[in-house]
Structure formats: C-alpha cells, structure tokens
Structure 1
Amino acid sequence: MEPNISNCVDLKGKSINPFWGRPDNNAAEEMHLSPQNHQPVEAFSILPPPPDAKFVGRPEIIKWLRQKFERSLTRVALVGPAGVGKSQIALQFAHQVLQSSPNTFVFWIEASDRSHFDNAFRDIASRLQLPGHDDPDIDALPLVSSWLSQPENGTWLMVVDSVENTDVFYCRKNNHAGCIGRSCLPTSPNGSIIFTSQNPSCLLLEMLDGDLKFYNATYKIPVMNIYQGFQLLRNELDDGLGDNPSRMADLVYALGCEPRSITQAAKVLNFRALKISEMSEMEEFRYLWPEKHIKVEKRGLLPRAWHRNFQLLRQQRSQAIDLLYLMSFFSGPQRKIPKLALVSFAKRLGKFQDHDEEAIIDCLDQEITFLKENHILTETDGGEDIILAPFVGFCTQMWLFYLCEQERWKGRLLYIMAQEYSSGAWDSWELFEKLDDCLQAIISLNIWSRFDKLNAATITFSLANYRYNQGRFKEAESLLRSVIEIRGQSLGLDDLETVRAMENIGTLFHVQGKLGEAEKTLRLVLEVKERVLGREHKDTLCSAFSLANVFLKLGDFSEAERRHRETLATRLQVLGKDHFHTLMSLDGLGETLRLAGDLEESERTLHRAVDGKMRALGAENPHTISSVHGLAATLMCQGKHEHAEKLYRQGLEGCEKALGRYHPTTQIGIHGLIHSLEQQHKDEEAHRVKQSVFGEGIGGVADSAKFVRENDTIGPSHRCNIEIRVGL
C-alpha cells in the first residue's frame, strides 16, 4: 500500500515541537509579512523525474520513512556517504507520495549551496504567485516558509537534498531582519521535510533543538548489499555485456557496493561495449574513469561529491583527513589496514608527535570515530583492523592528485613505514603477518624520487627478511633483487645495504641448492666487507660464517671447519661468549664436526650452543630450536636415540607455533622425531606421528632419515632466521 501523506501528517488537535524553533502565532508578523487571503491554490509538484525502471529500490528504507511519518514525526534525515543512493531513495518516496496523495504539494530543494537553495524557493514562490516573488530584493525563503507554515494552505512534503551546511536555512536579506539568526524553513503540522546529507553531525543539533523525539529521526544508509549491487549492475549493463556473473560480483565488491559508482562504471562499459569477461583488472578504478591527466572536475558527479566532502571534513578535523590520505594508498578489495599501522602514522603526524603511546591511541580513536561517523571507513568486529572502501580510496587519491599532493603524501608514507618497520626478525613476525598485504601495496607504488626509492628499498628488505623466515624463498629472492637494483643504481654496489641484500641472495642460493652461485656471491660479499668494514667487524664475520656453511654443504669439511674455527675465535674475542653470533658459530662448528665424524666434540660444542641460546633467547625461539635439532642429530649418529627423541619433542613443542608446520626447521624436527622412534622400533607411535602430520601419503624409515641427513647439513642459520639489519 502506497503511503498517504495526508494520513502521515494529520496532527490536528496535537501540540508538536517544530523542527527549528517553536510555533509562533506571530511568526508572519515577525518576518514583516502579513498573512495573505488567497484563493485556494491547486496542489502542484516540483520534482525531478522518478528513478527509471532499472532502479534497485531499498524497500526497508522506504518502510522506515513511512513509519516515521505515521508516528507524527515531521522531520527526518537520510545520511550516508556519496553514492549510497540517499537522493534516489528520497525521490522514490516523494513520487510515491505524489501518486497516492495528488492534493499534496511536493517540492524538491537542492541545498548543496546557497544559490541552488534560493533558486528553488524563488521557483516555488513564483508558482504560488506570492506577493513580492518577482522582487530581487526580497528573500523568497521566508516568503515561502510563511505561506507553508499556515495549515489552511494544505499538506506538503519537501525534500531538502544534499545538505552540507545548515547556513543555507537562514534568511540574509535586510528586509527580513527579524529572521536573522534563526532558520526560516517552514514549520507546520501539515508539512514534512526529508533531509539528505553526507554528514550526520551537520543536522543533528538542528534536528534536536531541545526535542529528543527527533533523536532517532536519522537513518544512516549503508551501501547496498552484494545482491542489490549485482542486480543494479545487471540492470544497467547493455545486453550481452554481463556475461560473467562471478566477475560481475567481483566488480560490485571492488566498487564498494555503492549505487552511483556501479551505475557510472556500467555507463563506461556500455560506451566501450566492453564485456565483463574482457576486463583484465577488476580492482583498477582508473580503468573505469577518464585518464588520470584529465582534471578531477571532469571525472563525473561521484568523485566531485566526495571532493566537496573532503573540503568540509578537513575544516572540521584536519588530522583525521591526514590519516585518510595515508590510508588511501592501501585501499583495495578485501584489504584490511591494521590499526597498529595507524598508530605508526599518528606518531609521526604533527598533532601527535609529543604524546606518549597511550595518549596517541586515545587521540587516534577519536579521529577514527569521526571518520566512521562520516561513513569514510568501518572497523572489523574486533576493532583491530580498519576497512576503507576501495572507491573511497580511489576518490581520495584523485583528490590528492587534484591538489598536486599525491607524491608528497606518498613520500611521507614511505618514510614512516621505512622508519617503523625496518626489520623482519622473528620477534616481529606477528607484526609483519598483519602488515604483509599493506607493505606489498606500498612497494608496488609508482615511485619517482631517489629518496622515496631508498625508503621503498628499506621496506622491501624487511619484507624479504620476513618472507625468508617463513620459508617463502622464491618470493624473498625476488624482493632482494629489487633492493639490489634500487640501491645499486642510486648508491653503487659497494653500498653496505646493497651488499647485505647480495649476501642474502647468496644465502638463498645456498638454501635452494645452487651452491656454485652461492659460493661465488658470498666470496664477493666477504671481499667487499673486508675492504670497507675490516676483518673483525661483526658484519664481516657474518659473511665469513655464511661462506663456511657453503663449504660444509659442498662436502669440503676441512675448509668449513677451518673457517668456522677462525670465525668463532674472532667472535669470542670481539663479541664475547654469550653473544648471539658467537652462539651461531658454535652451531656451525658443531655440525661441521658431526659431519666430519668427530661426534664427541660435536656433542660438546652443540651443548654449549643450546645452553647459551636457552639463557639468551628462550626455549621457543627458532634459533634455540634449530640448535636443539642439531644436537639431536649428533646424538642420533651416536646411537643415543632415546635422548634424541626427547630433544626433538622438546623442539617441536614450540616449533609449529613459531614457524608453522611447513617451515624447513619444523619439517626437520618432525622427520627427526619419526626417525628416532623408528630406530627404537616404536613403529606404531612413529606411524601415528606420520598420519597426524602427513596423512596417508607417508614414507618409511629411509625417507625420514634421508630428509634429516640432507637438510640438516644446511646449517643453523639457514634452517631458521638470518639476522638481517637495515643500517649499521
């Protein structure tokens, strides 16, 4: 049943509070106007055309509007970000009222600026033939308001669209001085107003006006759900273009399920006669809008609406918009921005720099709340992550481009992330796991300045370290090659950060069995470090240690032992017996001795390494676990299978949690445990471990023994983390 406005606003005999101010019997006199005795005016409407047949309605919102008016509320507001369909919903409701109640005046008022607002009221005054309507010195707003405020003139519905500043509601003409300082919108028990606005706080104080019954008169319109967005895209596309439902759904999601952005995208696809299945990059919004060198004003209605919104919001909370600028570089389908990344941003923005971390988090929560209230972003249920709609990120980037600020903010983002996240060490893995997608987005940006490129190289180095520690060797190698290319071109191949990247490339060659390339690369690295840093520098000793492990893998045990003993002796003298690098040298020497057949000295050396790492790092650190596995392997070679089993179990307690089941160190521990059980003829228990880990496709004794034998010679630094430092 269509709503009947006469039923909705029939409040005769009831005392109501007006939207702005209180009813005043002398209102007309106060406006220096006197009630006019007109003949009854036949009802008319001033409305844009109704939504076309392709419009996907929002029946739940139409129902809400109907219920509010039936409950005698005369003022309601539809709020939400640009493009969610506020105006179209209000227009649909207005046409329903016009159809069901033809004796009702229905007006559409554009309130985005004063000139549109004034013109709309002057048009109404002209249609009503009110005295003075053609006098340019008379403000039409109080003229129309006075007439509509008189109940005997009939029922009316007014849609005040795109309210961005409530100043438009105030009379400014001197001949109506009595109205200055108060809103001149009409108040009548026979009339109703629907406001639409992007900013919920824009109308709130005006709507309340001391009357709490209007507190729930605001509907925050969400974006469409995926089904509604899909229906809209299907309706808007020409026949034959929507040939792939799955990719249509992807496009709707990438556009944030925003009706106007979906409609605009469909228009571009129709113009290009481009099928959905032919689109190469669903998330690339520039594919759906004019080329980037065209001015922002010509990009269409939706981006312009967002840009007006940015201007207004920046006037209210500039710091929140600064955060938005930084976040917009992360925006993408299904991408979450960890709140801890925003804490890093806030630390280095002007307003927050002198605060402690607790105060920064409190201030940051206020800025996030402001952006949420203005429909800029949402939070995940736990509040740990921020979600920025892809289209909002796109519009923000276009706004920065228009302001010629895009490169400056990009550089600022790169600097912050390089300063905050300059390590991929084990103790920061949880942090990097949350930031992985965001960091990948940063290093994928188009970067032009030398300083920005170096910051991007620092971030890439950290991400490569993290990927290496996860066992994702090919990805790590690709990232490290990017670092070498960027830093090598800018600073030369003797730059120490470039040399460190080369060293880790050599280590990756080693891990992947490319031993010839590994030896060649690591020899070159050692030569450069000895020349630039000296033979006793800790970085030089790290390279000597890595090269010794290559000789170990090549089977040249005497050369490997010689180099490990030299490195260990220098580290004991320079760094001390409890330093992490000294303990790593003990690991390397112990494993070399085991493979060379000196099992007793190997056991003593590896015991020293395990005891030192237990004290310095703790039992669950991957480095400690790696040493435990090395000692267990030596015990296995001595036939001490029961003792070895205990050590493998000890290492595996924290290994899966710290590194994951498929990390090489974890795999060595699992196979070592199976091998030790089988050597003790605990076949049933070994089989249970195999099934729990590998399922039915499992190998036998020889498989586990071979795996441990081949992989355990990699060396402790390669089974787990290599300490990569960015900066000396």
Structure 2
Amino acid sequence: MRLLRFDRSRGLVSTDFREKATPPYAILSHRWGDSEVLYEDLGRNTYKAKHGYRKIEFCAEQAAQDQLQYFWIDTCCIDKWNLRERSKAINSMFRWYKNATRCYVFLPDVSAATDASRSAWEASFRASEWFTRGWTLQELIAPVSVEFFSREGRRIGDKASLEPLVHEITGVPLEALRNCPLDDFTTAERKGWAKDRETSEKEDAVYCLLGIFNINLPMAYGEGVDKAWRRLQMELEAASSAPSIIPFSQNEQFVGRESQLAELEARLFGNKRATTMAIVGRAGTGKSQLALEVAHRTRQRNKNCSVFWIDASDMDSLYRSYASIAQKLSIPGWDDEKVDSRQLVKTHLSEKGEKQCLLVFDNTEDVSLGSSGISTGATHIVDYLPHSELCSVLFTTTNSDTAKRLAAPNVVELKEMTPSTAQRMLENHLTQELSTMEAQPLLHELSYLPLAIVQAAAYINARSITTQEYLSQMARERETVLERTSELPEDSPPRCGTMDPVTIAVLISLDQIRRDSELAAEYLFLAACIDRKDIPLDLLEASSPREREDAVKVLSRYALVTRRPAESALDLHQLVHRALRRWLQKLEYLDQWIESAIRWLREVFPDHNHNNRSKWRRLLPHTKYALSNRSDERDNGNGQDLAWKCAMALYYDGRWAEAEELFVQVMETRKTKLGADHPDTLTSMANLGVTYSVQGKEDKAEPLKKQVMEIRKTKLGTDHPSTLSSMANLASTYSNQGRWREAKELDVQTKLGTDHPSTLTSMANLASTYRNQGRWREAEELFVQVMETSKTKLGADHPDTLTSMANLAFTFKGLGRVTQAFSLMQDCCRQQEQVLGPRHPYTVSSQESLAAWRLEAMEISE
C-alpha cells in the first residue's frame, strides 16, 4: 500500500509500505473529475497545476488536524499503468477503507458556509451525487469513522451524528452503518443496497459489491450485469467447493463443437489421471470459446476440481494470472512482492492432494514467452507447469507446432463450422428471427467463421437491417475493394487476403462508423498502427472523457474492440487489426497514420526516470511496433525522438540488446541529419557506448567513448559537465579492462560538486579501481560516500543507489565483514526486485552473488 505525506522541503511524498508495517492513515472518498492528480504527476512534480490538487490539500490539512501524518487517495496512490498493482488495489479497496483511521468524504456539490445552518446544506447533501454512485457504497460501510465535508472543506458531520439522515438517503440499515458484521445480512439485502446506484460501467453494479460480499472475482467487462450477477452467485455458492478462477461468464450463445467438446471432457479426466491437451485452429475459429465451455462444465460437474484460466499471450499476462491464483488459493507468501507467484503456484499444485485441478492456458502462441515488461530472455512455458497426476492442462493456440510440442498426441483441431451449427450461432447473436433460406447465403459468404458471424450479427443488430441487406452490402464492399485495388500501381502491396470475410465485415462496419463517429474511426486507425493488445485509453485523444467514452461505445457496438475497463484499455482481435492495416495500406494512408501514432506516442511516452517504469513498460510494445513499421522518408523527427526515448527506457529496464539496436539507428540518423559533432549525435553515441559496456562489449565501447570525449573537449572545453561525464564513462571502460592507472587519471571528482552525477560516477569508478587493486579500505570509503550521497540526492530506491549498495556489499565481503556484506546484499536484492523487477540483469546478478556467498559459507562450515 502506497501512502502520501507532506514534507516541508520535498512537498508531496509517496511512500510504499509493502514491506513495512502500515502506519495509521486517513483516506479520501470522492468523485473523480477531469483533472485529477495521478501517480505519475508526483514523479514529475507537476501535481500543483491540476484542479484535483485542492482535494489533496484538503485531505492533508484535515489529516494533520487529526494528528495523522499519512493519507491515501486513489487517484495518486495507485500506479494505474502497473496492471498487477491496479488489479490488486481493486480487490484490496474494501480492506483499505476498513483499516483507515479516518475516512473523509469530499462533496464538491454541497456548499456550507461557516455560519450555515443545517437547513442551508441539507437539501444539497441529500441530492449529492456521492450517494448515487456504486463504488462509494463500500466507502460508506467499510470505515468506522466517516466524516462529510462540503466543497469549502467545512465539516458537516460524521456517519454517527448524521446516521438517521444517511440511513434515509441510502436505505442502508443502521446496523450496517454501525459496522456490524456484514455476514449478518442476507445476499439479497446487501444486493439491494446498490439497487438505485449508478456506475459508469454496467458490470460495476456487481463489482462494486465484491468487498461487501468478501468475494474476489475477476472482472470481465462486456459480460453484462446478468452474467456478472450469476458469476457472483456461483462464487457465493462455491464457498464449500474447490476455489476457481474463470474470468469470463459461460457463453449462453455457445453452439456446435459437440464432438470436440465430448473428446476434451472424456480425455482430460476420463481415467482420473492428469492429461495435457491442446486446441488448435486458425484465428477466429472459436478456440477460446470451446475452452471456456470446457472450463465451466468441468466446474459444474466436479465441485472438487479447481479450474484456473490463464492468459498465456505473453509473460506479463501469465504472471498476473498466476498471482491471482496464488491469492485465490491463499498460498502463504502470495502477497509478498519478493516471491515469484508462478513458482509459488507450481509448487503448491505439485504437492500431493486429493483434489483435481484444470489449468486452461489461453492464447499460447509459442512455448517460449517474451515480455512486454522486463525480461532477460524468453521463458519456457513448461517451466511453470505443476508436476501432479491430478492437474490437467488445456492449451489454445493457432500454432500447430506449438500444440504438438506441448500436448502431442492430444491435439484437437478446429476447422470451419458446419452450416447448421453456424446458423445456430447466427440465430443466437441476432435479435431478429430468420429462416434457413435467409441464413445460409449469408453464412456461406462469411465462410462459416465464428468471428465473421459475430461481427455481421453486431452490424445487423446495430443498424436493424435484414440479412439480405447485409449480403448486398458485402457484395458492394467487394466491388469497392476490387476497384480500389485495380487503381493501385503494379508494385503496390499484394492483394492476398483482401476478400476474406472478416476483412469485408470490418470494412462494412468501418464505413458506418465513419458516419456515426469520425473520432471512433480515428481510434481504429490509430489502433491499427500500434500493438493490438492492451491499448491504453490515454492514447486516444479527445476533448473530454465523455467524448472518448462515446466513441469507444460505438466501436463496442460493432464488436470491433474488446473493452478492458479495469485496465482502462482496449484489445483488437488479430484479424480485425490485420484487416485495418491492409485497408489503410491499399489506400496509401498507412504511413500517414503510423506517423500520427508516432507523434502521439512521442508526446505521452515518459522520460527514463525510474518512477515512470510502469508507464513505459506498457507503452513499449506499442512504441516498438510503430517504430518497426515507420517510413524513414516521412519521419519529421518524431520517430527519432521516440526511438531515443524508447532506447533509454529499454536500457534502464535491462533490455540492453534491444536498446543497442535502437541507439545504433538513432546515432546513424543523427549523424546524417545533424552532423557527427552535433550535441544530440554525441549524446546518442555516448548512450550507445554505455550500452556496449553493460553488455561487456568494451572493445566497441572504448572507441565511441573516446570520440565523444575528444569532440566535447574541443567543442565545449575540458571543464564542461558534458565533457566530464564522457570522461567518467571512458574511465569506467578502462576500469573494466583492468587499465586502472588510465581510469584514475580520468577521475573528475574535483572538477564538479561532490553530488554531481558525473562526480558520483567517477567516484564509483575510482572505488572499483581501488577494489580491483586490493585497496579495500580506500574503496569502502568512496563507496560509502557514493551510496549516502545517492540516497540523499536520488532517493533510497533509485537504481543508482541500489548499484552502490551492491558495490559496498562486495567491498565488505572483501574486507572479511561477511555478516555485514550478507545483510546489505539481501537488502539490495529485495529492493532491486521491487524497483527493477525480478528478471532485471542487475537483480539477477545480485541474487546470483548472494547465492554463491551462501554456498561458499556452507562449504567453509563443512
């Protein structure tokens, strides 16, 4: 849990208490506005310019009056770019409000002057929107102390003094307002408390009650209120059965695949032994829907079998899924940030027990998973499968080789649906009735492909047209596509794939969307130029949140996007993404929209300050995708600026090979456009040199660093900070090469202030030289100075501070102070895991050193 406090010299300070005892704190309950202070604003120190800062000031002042140093506000105490943190926060919210010493309700729509009587504010108090919203219900019930304040910051009263009035407004029983155990109330009673409350997302009418029911339920926006209620009811009824996580409702419109369904059910647990199986088929054939039906049927028919759904599209998604399982199973250590939840779950499920388990790995496109976050290389998915005769595994994939490698010979292949099954699917999705004669011509044109059927049905429902009218539109669209294609030059992109049914369905919907909402169409074009998964809504420009929301609803109506409100993001199906790109390419608009995407990404991509790591990790897949497809001829500088930002983020995330590739591109382009001695060119050369060094490529690093230093000496002078920084960089190379005399000669610590970054780098280089020469005492003195200065100027959790801790730990060990070395390195490892991540090279290196020290100690004791 992250808490805020005010520091006289530093202003608003955020402190993470994940590893510490949480101190008493106040908590704010409020309605979100359009200009709230966010977590990232704290790092940029731009929070005072936002309208929402007034609420922060109010909360801080009120907490101080109540002798509380710390306070919590959802807008800026949750890193919304960190999906793991965001998900955990949503599920922890009720507990956080319950544990708060004071809860302040800020009511901007209630005015109460200093001398105002109750009659002056009671009418607006009764009408306040705060009492009409879904999520504020738990904020009223959970805390013991709830105090209400007007927009002027005047205290109106608290939950106790205003009890009759609050009871009358909300209908919440007095016993619940007095914090009686919620188990004393029936499910129907608790459900009724939210009956007349509004939520931005319809499913939130259910999700806002999860804390009140003490239920942890994965959020599946788009499922609808009724399905969300059924899932909640299943969780309530399943208290005595095996715990499960299936984040999607059972598809009531599921049809067909009876033979494959029967085969999967029979073989997964047919002989009461674990089986590994895979469903394979091309995109859009309904693999995930078949797996979902298997998951729900397994849970319904075997109450002792746990079923866990895992998103295996990339390593970060896999990690989040395993973390949810660990929490659901209450495995000891599930909430420990140092623990790898994948190994935790694997070990737990591998232990012998009497209950069966089914793991469904959806979207497993490769046995090795990369990461959109931090990774030192691909990880084999098999490494995280439990070894148990009671745990069956089911994969879905479009890759037949992957299916065979994971599950051969137990592979179920999905092909096109039969005409009768396809008709049942169409009928289930349409709001109108139709006959076989009406349905089959359309289904034939749609190639009986489930995705195309769903999109066609969405369009027919949205426009209230007949299937024959849709067929006519398909014919017209095909003619239009052929005309456009015939007009292109002979060397234009190939035509293949332009006539597939998903493409035609997408283009039909796109034509209508452009008439309904030009902004919605622009969102689609932007989405076609970046990665198709986890598209943050913050990437979608709009004059107001409402305008953006309306445009996104248009896209949802035509089934072209999958909404992820819990992550404030969208997904596109890969076939939709491909169809949009091909359409833009054939009209010669693709380069233009890629440039627009790059321009906007350049604006929103953060600098490489380590406080921004969650944001850049989510934006890196989109940035790399856009940059890899850009046209150099169209680049007006935005591409190179974005490439540099991306490279810097990759460097600080330990993804050095990827950073090197981009730094080379940036350097060569700047040399051509700006000249070899331009400051920006020299900066990119210096960046590349340092990247070579951390990878041990000192033979490549040295000439670059020398060149940068000599040009800066000539252009800027020997004493210029940039020159001194390049001297420090070259000194580090000499030190790594064992050329300690030359490294010492380049020491610049007397040229600048003792706390300048170049000075700290130089001091660290010199300390390393002393250590390599066996001059341990001198090395210790310098490393201590570097560490303490870094703590003061950069912060205790800054990556450079942590590196200095590791260096000092090595020095302690060299001095024979083993206990002190162990303690410091353990602290360093713990903080590196939190700040850099468990797979960052520096974290891995520190952990390996610590493990080697332990092994060495064991051998000595023997």
Show CA shifts across 1:116-171 (max 9, x none): xxxxxxxxxxxxxxxxxxxxxxxxxxxxxxxxxxxxxxxxxxxxxx9x9xxxxxxx
Residue 663 of structure 2 corresponds to which residue in structure 1?
A: 480
Give the letter for the 1:423 counterpart.
D
Contact 1:606-1:630 at 8 Å conserved across structures: yes
Aligned with 1:471 (options 630, 633, 654):
654
Equivalence for 1:337: 534
Looking at structure 2, the residues matched to 56 and 479 of structure 1 have their Cα atoms a distance apart, in angstroms, of: 52
Distance 1:53 1:634 in 2: 67
Q: Secondary structure at the match of 1:386?
A: strand
Distance 1:436 1:645, change over 3 A: same
Name the counterpart of 1:372. 556
Over aligned residues, Cα RMSD in angstroms? 4.2
Residue 617 of structure 1 is matched in structure 2 by 794
Say whether 1:600 aligns with 2:788: no
Aligned to 1:58: 422
Q: Write the mapping of 1:311-460 to structure 2, written as runs, cut at 5 A.
A: 311-330=511-530, 335-339=532-536, 342-346=537-541, 351-352=542-543, 360-380=544-564, 382-401=566-585, 404-421=588-605, 423-449=607-633, 451-452=635-636, 454-460=637-643
Question: 1:469/1:91 Cα in 2 relative to 1: closer, same or farther (>3 Å)?
Answer: farther
- The equivalent of 2:749 in structure 1 is 568
SS at match of 1:369: helix
Question: What's 2:762 paired with?
Answer: 585
Name the CA distance, whole Å, in 2 between partners of 1:369 and 1:569: 61
State the partner residue of 1:198.
459
Q: 1:77 is matched with which residue? A: 431
Could you tell me the percent identity over the aligned residues? Answer: 21
Q: Which whole-Å deviations, capped at 9, do the CAs of 1:238-279 have from their partners, x for residues lacking one?
A: xxxxxxxxxxxxxxxxxxxxxx99xx9xxx9xxxxxxxxxxx
Change (3 A) 1:494 1:447: same
Residue pair 2:529, 2:593 contacting (<8 A) in 1 also = no
Change in 2 beyond 3 A, CA 1:470/1:302: closer
Query: Counterpart of 2:629 in 1: which secondary structure?
Result: coil
Q: Which residue identity is paired with 1:669? A: S
Q: 2:832 aligns with which of 655, 665, 675?
A: 655
Q: 1:310 aligns with which of 510, 518, 521?
A: 510
Matched residues in 2 for 1:377 and 1:402: separation?
Answer: 22
1:69 — aligned with what? Answer: none
Taking structure 1 as reference, are residues 463 and 604 closer, same or farther at Cα in structure 2, changes over 3 Å only?
same
Amino acid at match of 2:436: Q
Report the secondary structure of 1:600's partner residue: helix
SS at match of 1:329: coil
Distance 1:343 1:667, change over 3 A: closer
2:706 pairs with 1:511: no
CA distance in 2, matches of 1:655, 1:298: 49
Q: What residue is the counterpart of 1:697 in the other structure?
A: none
What residue number does 1:92 align with?
A: 436
1:591 CA displacement:
2.1
Give 1:646's match in structure 2, choosing from 808, 823, 831: 823
Distance 1:655 1:591 in 2: 21
3-state SS of the aligned residue for 1:571? coil
Alignment of 1:626 onto 2:823 = no
Distance 1:496 1:93, change over 3 A: farther
Distance 2:706 2:500 in 1: 59
Which residue matches 1:555? Answer: 738
Alpha-carbon displacement from aligned partner over 1:504-543 (angstroms, at most 9, x marks no partner): 3322333343333322221011122233344344332221
1:680 Cα shift? 5.6
Deviates more, 1:512-521 or 1:544-553: 512-521
CA distance in 2, matches of 1:402, 1:583: 55
- Return the letter of the residue paired with 2:781: R
1:495 matched to 2:678 = yes
CA contact (8 A) 1:328 1:394 kept: yes
Q: Which amino acid aligns with 2:777?
A: E
Q: Kindly tell me: are residues 531 and 422 of structure 1, through their superposed partners in 2, closer, same or farther at Cα, counting changes over 3 Å?
A: farther
Structure 1 pair 638–440 and aligned structure 2 pair: CA distance change class (3 A): same
1:385 and 1:616 mapped to 2: Cα distance? 36
The verdict on how the C-alpha distance between 1:385 and 1:596 changes in structure 2, with shifts beyond 3 A counting, is: same
- TM-score, reference length from structure 2: 0.43
What is the CA-CA distance between 1:445 and the residue it aligns to? 0.8
- Residues 317 and 665 of structure 1, relative CA distance in 2, 3 Å threshold: same
Aligned letter for 1:322?
E
- Structure with the bigger percentage of helix: 1
Q: How many residues align?
A: 421
CA–CA separation in structure 2 for the residues paired with 1:642 and 1:293: 66
Greater RCO (CA < 8 Å, at least 6 residues apart): 1
Q: Which amino acid aligns with 2:736?
A: K
For residues 663-719 of structure 1, give each alpha carbon's deviation from its aligned partner in whole angstroms, at most 9, with x where no partner exists. Answer: 3422442244345546666868xx9xxxxxxxxxxxxxxxxxxxxxxxxxxxxxxxx
Amino acid of the residue matched to residue 77 of structure 1? T
> Judging changes above 3 Å, is the alpha-carbon distance between structure 1 residues 682 and 402 closer, same or farther for their aligned structure 2 residues?
closer
Q: Taking structure 1 as reference, are residues 596 and 384 closer, same or farther at Cα in structure 2, changes over 3 Å only?
A: same
1:274 maps to: none
Going from structure 1 to structure 2, the CA distance change for 1:474 and 1:403 (only over 3 Å counts) comes to closer
Q: Deviations over 1:389-423 (max 9, x none)?
A: 23323333344446553333222111111232263
TM superposition shift of 1:637: 1.8
Question: Residues of 2 paired with 1:500 and 1:61: CA distance?
Answer: 59
Please state how far the C-alpha of 1:299 moved relative to its aligned partner.
5.4
Larger Cα-atom Rg: 1
1:88-127 aligned at under 5 Å gives the runs 90=434, 92=436, 94=438
Q: Distance in 1 between matches of 2:582 and 2:603?
A: 27
Q: Is the 8 A contact 2:606 2:615 kept in 1?
A: no
**C-alpha spacing 1:681/1:407, structure 2 compared with 1 (3 Å):** closer
**Secondary structure of the equivalent of 2:421?**
coil
Q: 1:446 to 1:55 in 2, by over 3 A?
A: farther
> d(CA) in 1 for partners of 2:617 and 2:648?
12
Is the CA contact (8 Å cut-off) linking 1:642 and 1:680 kept in structure 2?
no
What secondary structure does 2:528 align onto?
Answer: helix
The whole-number CA distance in structure 2 between the counterparts of 1:494 and 1:305 is 53
Q: Is the 8 A contact 2:728 2:758 kept in 1?
A: no
SS in 1 for 2:431: strand
Compared CA separation, residues 409 and 53, structure 1 to 2 (3 A): closer
Counterpart residue type for residue 92 of structure 1: T
Distance 1:486 1:677, change over 3 A: same
Q: Is the 8 A contact 2:591 2:634 kept in 1?
A: no
CA distance in 1, matches of 2:497, 2:738: 69
The residue that corresponds to 1:538 in the other structure is 721
Asked if 2 retains the 8 angstrom alpha-carbon contact of 1:464 and 1:480, the reply is yes
User: For residue 595 of structure 1, what is the amino acid of its counterpart?
Assistant: N
Partner SS for 2:559: coil
- Structure 1 residues 200 and 497, CA gap change in structure 2 (3 angstroms): farther
CA distance in 1, matches of 2:498, 2:422: 30
Equivalent position amino acid for 1:344 in 2: L
3-state DSSP class of the match of 1:535? coil
State the one-letter code of the partner of 2:422.
R
State the alpha-carbon separation in 2 of the partners of residues 643 and 298 from structure 1.
Answer: 67
